[in-house]
C-alpha cells in the first residue's frame, strides 16, 4: 500500500503558559483508503490539518506523494481542501462561484457543470450561496474541493450538522473517491461513524496520537455493543437488571444517562425486554447500539451526531451505576446494516464520479523523512492561473457592481439637470455632473467604490485563500484587478456623460450639449480622473484590506492631497511642464513622430493640475505600499 500522505513530527507553536495544541503528531494515510482523525473537541484535529496545509506556524513536515505542499506547483490540483463553511459571497450563485474558482485553478468553465452533476447540485445551480441549507452547503464544499480533480481530499469534520441521509451520501462520495485510487483524510468526533466509514483511524487526545489502528482493530478494542433503553421507570428497571445479573453471576453494567435513559452493557435487547415485561415496566425504546469505551471518547461522541445527547458518556449520575462484576470488553465489529447503507450510497456516488469523468490513478513513493522536522511557515496562497478571467467572473457574479453603476447614472443625470436649472455652471462640469461644491463627481466616486470592492469583497468573503485571512498579493492578480477596474471606469465615464447629455437635450434643447472645441483634452482628463479613482480604490483596499478604506483613500485625494499639491505648485521655484517638454524635445536627436511632443505636453499639463498631480501622487504611494506589504508577508 503506497503512502500518499506522510505527516512527521507536527508540532504547533507554543502557547502562553499552555502546552502546544499539537505535540509531535506523526501518521500516514494511504491511497485507496479513508483515514479518519478522531478526537474530542479541542483534541487538536483542526490544528493538525492547519499544520499539514501550511496554514499555521509550527514544526514538522507533511509529504503529499513525496513532496511538501510548498514544493507542489499548483497545490489545488493535488490536494482538495474543505475547512469550515464554503467561502464565498452570499449573493453569488452556485454555478457562478464554481466558474470563478475554475478560472482561479486554470480549468475550463464546463468543469463546474460536471462537478455539479457529480454532487447532485444541478437543480440548485442558480441558487444563491446565502440560501443553501446545511446539507447543500456541504455538497458545495465538496464540489469546490473536487473541482481541480485532486488526488487527495482533506476535510475538517465534513459531516457536522448533516442529517443521517446526507451523512450517508457524503461518506459514499468519500468512499468512491478512495475506490478510484484517491486518498481521503477527514476529521470527526463520532467514534461509531468512524468505525462504519473509515479504513484507518488515528485517535488524538490532548494534541497527541493515542492510537493508530485499522478500522477493524479500532472496532474490536475501542467499541462494544450495548442496549439503549428509554422508559419512564428507568430507575426501577436499572435495579431489577442489576439484581438479575447478580443472581445469574453475569457481567452486566447499567449506566444511567439522566432522565429516562439507560445504557446496558453485557446484555441483549431480548434479555432486557423480558425483564421489563415480567415486571410490568413500560419501555418506550429498546435498541442495539455501539458504544465507545476509549478514554475521552465519551465527550467526543456527545459532541457528534449520535442518537441522543451525550449518548456514550460513561460517567453516570450519582447512584446510577449498578455493576455486578468487573466489565469485560466484548469484541465488536462494524454495524453491517449501516455499512450496507453506506455502500449503497457509495455506489450512487461512483455513478456520479463516472459522470464527472474521474479515473483511477497511481502514486509515487515518498522520500525518506527528515530526522529533525523543519519549521512550518505560513505559505502565500496560490495565485489565480487565469487572473483576468477570474476577476471578470468575480465582478459580474454579483449584482453589487451593476447596482452601483445604475445609482451613479441616476444621480449624475439628476445632478446635471439641477445644475442646468440653477445656471452658472461651465459646460464640462455640467456634462460630468460635477458641482463646484463637491470634491469629486458621482462617476469618480462610483468608480472608486467599484475598485475598492474588487479587493474588499474578497477580504469579506475569501474565495482563493480559505482560512488564511488574506487575499494573495500577486502582481498578476493586481494587474487583472487594475485592468478590469479601469475598463469598468471608462465604460461608466462614457455612459455618465452620454446619459447626462441625452437628458439635458431632452429637457433644455441642443444648446447645452454642443461639443466644445477642446473636447479631446477634456475627454482625456475626464477619463484619467475616473480611471485614477478606480485604481486608487483597488490599491487602497488591497493595502488596508477594507472596502471603506479604499473609498476613503479616493475621497482623501481632493480633500487632503490637492491642497498640498496647490501649495507646492504655488511656490515661485516651481517649474511648469511646458519647458520640460521643450527641453526633452530639444535633447533628442530625432523629432517626435506624429506630433508626439504635443501629446507629451498635454499629458504633463494634465499631471501638473492639482487634481491630476494629487491623484498621480496618491497612486504612486499606494502602489509602493501595496508592493511593500506583499514583500513583507513573503519575508515572514
What is the per-residue pLDDT for 604? Answer: 47
Tens of pLDDT along 474-506? 788 889 999 999 999 999 999 999 999 999 999
Across 310-328, average pLDDT: 31
Q: In degrees rounded to 5, what are phi and psi of residue 44?
A: 105, 15
Cα separation of 347 and 323, whole Å?
44
Q: What is the pLDDT of residue 502?
A: 92
Residue 505 CB neighbour total at 10 angstroms: 13
User: Which band of pLDDT confidence, cut at 50, 70 and 90, is reported for residue 179?
Assistant: very high
As a whole-number percent, the residues of the chain with pLDDT over 70 amount to 76
Q: Which element (helix H / strand E) includes 37? A: strand 34-38
Question: Cβ distance 489 to 451 under 8 Å?
Answer: yes
- Grouping H, G, I as helix, E, B as strand and the rest as coil, residue 292 is strand
Q: Name the H helices within 423-468.
A: 427-432, 442-460
Place of cell 515572514: 636
Residue with cell 434479555: 271
Residue 145's pLDDT is: 92
CA separation for the pair 138, 611 (Å, rounded): 50
Has residue 88 got a pLDDT over 90? no
Q: How confident is the model at residue 157 (pLDDT cuts 50, 70, 90)?
A: very high
- Given a cut of 80, whether residue 549 has pLDDT beyond it is yes
At 230, the pLDDT band (50, 70, 90 cuts) reads very high
Q: Please state which of the ranges 175-189, 297-311, 584-598, 610-624 shows the lowest mean pLDDT.
A: 297-311
pLDDT interval class at 44 (50, 70, 90): very high
Say how far apart CA 455 and CA 535 lie, in whole Å: 11
Domain boundaries, the chain: 87-149, 223-323, 387-635
Confidence of residue 464 (pLDDT cuts 50, 70, 90): low
- Cβ-count burial of 156 within 10 angstroms (0-12 exposed, 13-18 middle, 19+ buried)? buried
633: confidence class by pLDDT, cuts 50, 70, 90: low
Tens of pLDDT, residues 613-627: 677 778 888 888 888
**pLDDT in the model for residue 472:** 53
Q: What's the start-to-end Cα distance of the chain, in Å?
A: 38
Q: What is the CATH number of domain 223-323?
A: 3.30.70
Q: How many residues does the chain have?
A: 636
Query: Over 70: is that where the pLDDT of 158 sits?
Result: yes
pLDDT reported for residue 16: 77
| Confidence at 315, pLDDT banded by 50, 70, 90 | very low
What pLDDT score was predicted for residue 298? Answer: 39
Categorize the per-residue pLDDT at 303 as very low, low, confident or very high, splitting at 50, 70 and 90: very low
pLDDT for residue 612: 66
Q: Mean per-residue pLDDT for 218-246?
A: 86
- Listed range (8-22, 191-205, 318-332) with the worst mean pLDDT: 318-332
| More confident call, 337 vs 402 | 402
Structure confidence at residue 379 (pLDDT): 73
For the cut 60, the answer to whether the pLDDT of residue 628 exceeds it is yes
Give the per-residue pLDDT at 148: 92
Give the pLDDT confidence of 501-535 residue by residue, as tens digits.
Answer: 999 999 988 888 888 787 888 888 889 889 999 99
What confidence score (pLDDT) does residue 473 get? 63
Span 397-416, average pLDDT: 94
Planar angle of CA 541, 50, 179, nearest 5 degrees: 115
- pLDDT of residue 414 exceeding 70: yes
Band (pLDDT 50/70/90 cuts) for residue 2 is low
**pLDDT for residue 475:** 82
Beta-sheet strand order (sheet of 253-256): 285-292, 223-230, 261-265, 253-256, 322-323
pLDDT at 423: 82
* Cell numbers placing 360: 483511477
3-state helix, strand, coil split of the chain in percent (to 5) is 55, 15, 35
Over 246-291, what HEC string results?
HHHCCCCEEEECCCCEEEEECCCHHHHHHHHHHCCCCCCEEEEEEE
Per the listing, cell 471606469 goes with 489
Phi-psi category of residue 42: left, alpha or beta, with phi > 0 → left and psi -120 to 50 → alpha: left
Summarize pLDDT for 269-287 with one digit per residue, the tens: 999 999 999 999 999 999 8
pLDDT (average), residues 220-245: 86
Q: Can you tell me the mean pLDDT for 555-584?
A: 63
53-62, 176-185, 215-224, 625-634: which has the minimum mean pLDDT? 625-634
- Determine the average pLDDT of the residues in 434-458: 90
Per-residue confidence (pLDDT) for residue 631, from 0 to 100: 67
Mean pLDDT of 254-276: 87
Indicate whether 629 pLDDT > 80: no
Query: 118: helix, coil or strand?
Result: helix
Amino acid at each position: 500500500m503506497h503512502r500518499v500522505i506522510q505527516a512527521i513530527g507536527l508540532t504547533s507553536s507554543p502557547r502562553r503558559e499552555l502546552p502546544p495544541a499539537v505535540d509531535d503528531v506523526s501518521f500516514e494515510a494511504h491511497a485507496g483508503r479513508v483515514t479518519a482523525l478522531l478526537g474530542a473537541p479541542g483534541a487538536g484535529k483542526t490544528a493538525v490539518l492547519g499544520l499539514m496545509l501550511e496554514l499555521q506556524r509550527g514544526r514538522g513536515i507533511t509529504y503529499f506523494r513525496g513532496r511538501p505542499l510548498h514544493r507542489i506547483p499548483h497545490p489545488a490540483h493535488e490536494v482538495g481542501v474543505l475547512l469550515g463553511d464554503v467561502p464565498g459571497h452570499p449573493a453569488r450563485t452556485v454555478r457562478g462561484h464554481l466558474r470563478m474558482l475554475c478560472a482561479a485553478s486554470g480549468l475550463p468553465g464546463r468543469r463546474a457543470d460536471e462537478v455539479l452533476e457529480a454532487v447532485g447540485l444541478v437543480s440548485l445551480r442558480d441558487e444563491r450561496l446565502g440560501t443553501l441549507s446545511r446539507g447543500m452547503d456541504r455538497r458545495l464544499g465538496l464540489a469546490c474541493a473536487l473541482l481541480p480533480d485532486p488526488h487527495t481530499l482533506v476535510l475538517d469534520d465534513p459531516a457536522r450538522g448533516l442529517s443521517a441521509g446526507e451523512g450517508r451520501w457524503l461518506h459514499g462520495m468519500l468512499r468512491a473517491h478512495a475506490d478510484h485510487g484517491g486518498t481521503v483524510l477527514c476529521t470527526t468526533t463520532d467514534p461509531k461513524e468512524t468505525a462504519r466509514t473509515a479504513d484507518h483511524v488515528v485517535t488524538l487526545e490532548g494534541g497527541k496520537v493515542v492510537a493508530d489502528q485499522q478500522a477493524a482493530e479500532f472496532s474490536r478494542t475501542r467499541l462494544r455493543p450495548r442496549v439503549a433503553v428509554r422508559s419512564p421507570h428507568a430507575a426501577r428497571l436499572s435495579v431489577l437488571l442489576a439484581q438479575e445479573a447478580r443472581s445469574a453471576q453475569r457481567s452486566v453494567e447499567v449506566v444511567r444517562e439522566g432522565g429516562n435513559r439507560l445504557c446496558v452493557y453485557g446484555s441483549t435487547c431480548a434479555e432486557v425486554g423480558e425483564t421489563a415485561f415480567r415486571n410490568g415496566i413500560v419501555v418506550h425504546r429498546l435498541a442495539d447500539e455501539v458504544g465507545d469505551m476509549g478514554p475521552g471518547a465519551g465527550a467526543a461522541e456527545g459532541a457528534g451526531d449520535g442518537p441522543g445527547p451525550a449518548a456514550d458518556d460513561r460517567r453516570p449520575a450519582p447512584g446510577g451505576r449498578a455493576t455486578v462484576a468487573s466489565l469485560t470488553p466484548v469484541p465488536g465489529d462494524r454495524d453491517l446494516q449501516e455499512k450496507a447503507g453506506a455502500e449503497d450510497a457509495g455506489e450512487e456516488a461512483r455513478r456520479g464520479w463516472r459522470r464527472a469523468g474521474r479515473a483511477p490513478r497511481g502514486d509515487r513513493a515518498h522520500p525518506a523523512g527528515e530526522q529533525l522536522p523543519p519549521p512550518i511557515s505560513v505559505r502565500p496562497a496560490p495565485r489565480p492561473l487565469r487572473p483576468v478571467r477570474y476577476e471578470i467572473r468575480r465582478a459580474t457574479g454579483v449584482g453589487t457592481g451593476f447596482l452601483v453603476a445604475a445609482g451613479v447614472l441616476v444621480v449624475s443625470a439628476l445632478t446635471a439637470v439641477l445644475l442646468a436649472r440653477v445656471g452658472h455652471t461651465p459646460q464640462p462640469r455640467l456634462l460630468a455632473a460635477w458641482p463646484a461644491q463637491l470634491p469629486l463627481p458621482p462617476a469618480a466616486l462610483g468608480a472608486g467604490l467599484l475598485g475598492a470592492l474588487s479587493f474588499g469583497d474578497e477580504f469579506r468573503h475569501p474565495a482563493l485563500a480559505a482560512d488564511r485571512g488574506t487575499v494573495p498579493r500577486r502582481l498578476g492578480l493586481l494587474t487583472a484587478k487594475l485592468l478590469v477596474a479601469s475598463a469598468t471606469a471608462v465604460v461608466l465615464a462614457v455612459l455618465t456623460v452620454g446619459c447626462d447629455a441625452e437628458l439635458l437635450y431632452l429637457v433644455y434643447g441642443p444648446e447645452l450639449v454642443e461639443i466644445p472645441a477642446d473636447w479631446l483634452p477634456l475627454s482625456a482628463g475626464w477619463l484619467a480622473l475616473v480611471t485614477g479613482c478606480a485604481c486608487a480604490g483597488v490599491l487602497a483596499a488591497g493595502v488596508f484590506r477594507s472596502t471603506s478604506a479604499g473609498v476613503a483613500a479616493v475621497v482623501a485625494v481632493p480633500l487632503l492631497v490637492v491642497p498640498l499639491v496647490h501649495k507646492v505648485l504655488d511656490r515661485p521655484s516651481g517649474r511648469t511642464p511646458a519647458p520640460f517638454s521643450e527641453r526633452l524635445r530639444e535633447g533628442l536627436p530625432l523629432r517626435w513622430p506624429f506630433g508626439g511632443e504635443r501629446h507629451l505636453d498635454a499629458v504633463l499639463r494634465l499631471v501638473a493640475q492639482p487634481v491630476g498631480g494629487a491623484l498621480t501622487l496618491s497612486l504612486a504611494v499606494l502602489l509602493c505600499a501595496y508592493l511593500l506589504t506583499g514583500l513583507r508577508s513573503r519575508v515572514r
